[in-house]
């Protein structure tokens, strides 16, 4: 199953303050079992919270891609993962949702002076081929 892990990492330059990252920063997903980039044929995507604190996920265009649609607000990512299932391939093709979708993860255990958002591929994203 395609998995995106939100983890804590050091800032560049050896700064002790933590920075949170989406790993991988860009994830290729597909509901097609014959597609070579898929990790699991049922088209699920899992976000895992490995921050040691609270992390919340927001998928602003999630209703276009996932069924059932994720909430249109920040949702807690449990440490054992939060999974969303892609719509069937035929439905995705019919409505033309191929593209790159950005998402946002907020980590509450970031020092107050930081903005709390996990970095990725400016911002993190997933790709529907």
Q: Which residues of the chain have pLDDT under 50?
A: 16, 38-41, 112-113, 121
Dump pLDDT digits (tens) for 29-52. 765 555 555 444 457 889 999 888
Dump pLDDT digits (tens) for 73-82. 999 999 999 9
The whole-angstrom separation of Cα 54 and Cα 60 is 20
DSSP H or E segment with residue 49: strand 44-50
What per-residue confidence (pLDDT) applies to 122?
57
How many CA atoms within 13 Å lie on the side-chain side of 53? 13
Could you tell me whether strands 75-76 and 82-85 are parallel, antiparallel, or unpaired per DSSP bridges?
unpaired
Residue indicated by tokens 């921050």: 51
Domain ranges of the chain: 3-128
pTM of the model: 0.77
Q: Which CATH code fits 3-128? A: 2.60.40
């Amino acid at each position: 199953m395609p998995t995106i892990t939100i983890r804590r990492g050091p800032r560049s330059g050896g700064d002790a303050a933590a920075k949170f990252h989406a790993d991988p920063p860009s994830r290729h997903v597909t509901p097609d079992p014959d597609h070579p980039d898929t990790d699991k044929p049922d088209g699920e995507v899992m976000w895992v919270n490995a921050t040691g604190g609270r992390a919340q996920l927001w998928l602003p265009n999630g209703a276009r891609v996932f069924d059932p649609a994720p909430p249109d607000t920040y949702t807690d990512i449990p440490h054992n993962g939060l999974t969303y299932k892609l719509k069937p391939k035929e439905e995705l093709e019919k409505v033309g949702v191929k593209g790159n979708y950005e998402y946002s993860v907020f980590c509450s255990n970031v020092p107050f002076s930081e903005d709390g958002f996990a970095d990725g591929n400016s911002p993190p994203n997933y790709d529907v081929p």
